[in-house]
Amino acid sequence: MRTVTAFPCAGETLLGTLDGSHGTTGLLIVSGGNEIRIGAHRGMALLAQRLALEGIPVFRFDRRGIGDSTGKNRGFRSSGPDITAAATWFREVARIDRLIAFGNCDAATALALYGADAGVDRLILANPWVIEETDPLPPAAAIRARYRTKLRDPREWLRLARGGVDLVKLSRGLGKLVQRRSQGNDSLRVQCIEAINRNAAATTILLARHDATAIAFQDVWDTSDRATRDLVPVHVCDTASHSFAGGADAAWLERQILAAILRD
C-alpha cells in the first residue's frame, strides 16, 4: 500500500512516500540533484512499486527545499540531516530491522558521505558525482573517452581533413584535459573515495558505462586504494542513460538493487 507522510527535519517538514510491504529489510531512496521523489520519468516511483511487490518496503522523500518539503534547498552537501531524518522515520514506522539506501548522482555521493551516520546498513551508489567544476564541458575523463573512440574511427579523421571539426571546441576540450591533469585530486573526489573506503564492506557501486558522470567516477575509482576496490562490487550497465531510463536499463537496475539487498 502506498501512503504519503510528513516528518520533521531541522525545524522543517519533509514529505515522503512509503510503499509498504511485509519484509523487514527496507530500501530508502535518496533523490539526486533537484529531482523530486518520483524520479526521472517516474523511475523511482515505479521501482518502489515493483520492489514492494517483492516484499521490500520502500521509502522516498523530498529533501528540504525540494518538491513538497519546506525549507531552503542548500544542495546535496547539506543533506545529511535530511537523510538521517528519513532513515529514522522509515525504521520506526515501517518497523524494519535492516536499512539499505540507494542514490544516483549526487545522492550517491551524499549517501557515501552521510549514510553511515544516518544508520544505513548497506549503500547502493549509482554514478556517484565527483565533479567540482560547473563549466559547460563534460568531465575530463569523459572527454578522454570520447576522443579515444573518435581516434579509432577513420571517418573522424576524414572529417578533420575536410574541415568538419570545430577546432575551437576541440582546443577547449584539449585545454581542459591539460588543466585537469595538473589540478590533481580535488576535495569532493577525495571526500567521496575516503567515505567509500570507510564503509567499503557495505557498499555496492552501479555505473552507466557511457554516462559522463559515471566515466568521471570510474576515472577516480581506478586510481583509488586496491584493497578498497577488492571489497566493493562494481556493476556496469552498457548504457548512456544516467537515470537508467527505459525498459532494459530499468530492469537491470532493479536486478542489481535486489541482488545488493539480498547480499550478506
Same domain? 29 vs 160: no
Give the Cβ contact number of residue 40 at 10 Å: 17
Whether the model clears a pTM of 0.85, i.e. scores above it, the answer is no
> How many domains does the structure of the chain reveal?
2
Please tell me whether residues 148 and 31 are part of one structural domain.
no
Q: Reduced to 3 states, what is the DSSP secondary structure of residue 105?
A: coil
If asked whether residues 218 and 162 sit together in one domain, one would say no
- Check whether residue 28 and residue 151 sit in a common domain: no
Q: Is the dihedral of CA 92, 94, 95, 100 positive or negative?
A: negative
174 with 226, same domain: the answer is no
Q: What is the spatial distance between Cα 200 and Cα 226, in angstroms, rounded to a whole number?
A: 11
CATH number of the domain residue 54 falls in? 3.40.50.1820
Same-domain check for residues 111 and 228: yes
Same domain, 176 and 54: no
CA distance 60 to 86: 8
Q: 167, 182, 197: which is the final residue of a domain? A: 182
Which candidate, 43, 47, 106, 107, places its Cα nearest to that of 245? 43
Q: Are residues 227 and 250 in the same domain?
A: yes
- Tell me the pLDDT of the chain (264 aa) as tens digits: 899 999 999 999 999 999 999 999 999 999 999 999 999 999 999 999 999 999 999 999 999 999 999 999 999 999 999 999 999 999 999 999 999 999 999 999 999 999 999 999 999 999 999 998 665 555 565 555 555 565 566 765 566 566 665 555 555 555 555 554 444 455 899 999 999 999 999 999 999 999 999 999 999 999 999 999 999 999 999 999 999 998 999 999 999 999 999 986
**Claim to verify: residue 114 and residue 201 sit in the same structural domain:** yes
- For the chain, give the longest Cα–Cα distance: 66
**Which range marks the domain in which residue 148 is found?**
140-182
205 plus 85 within the same structural domain: yes
Shared domain for 176 and 191, answered yes or no, is: no
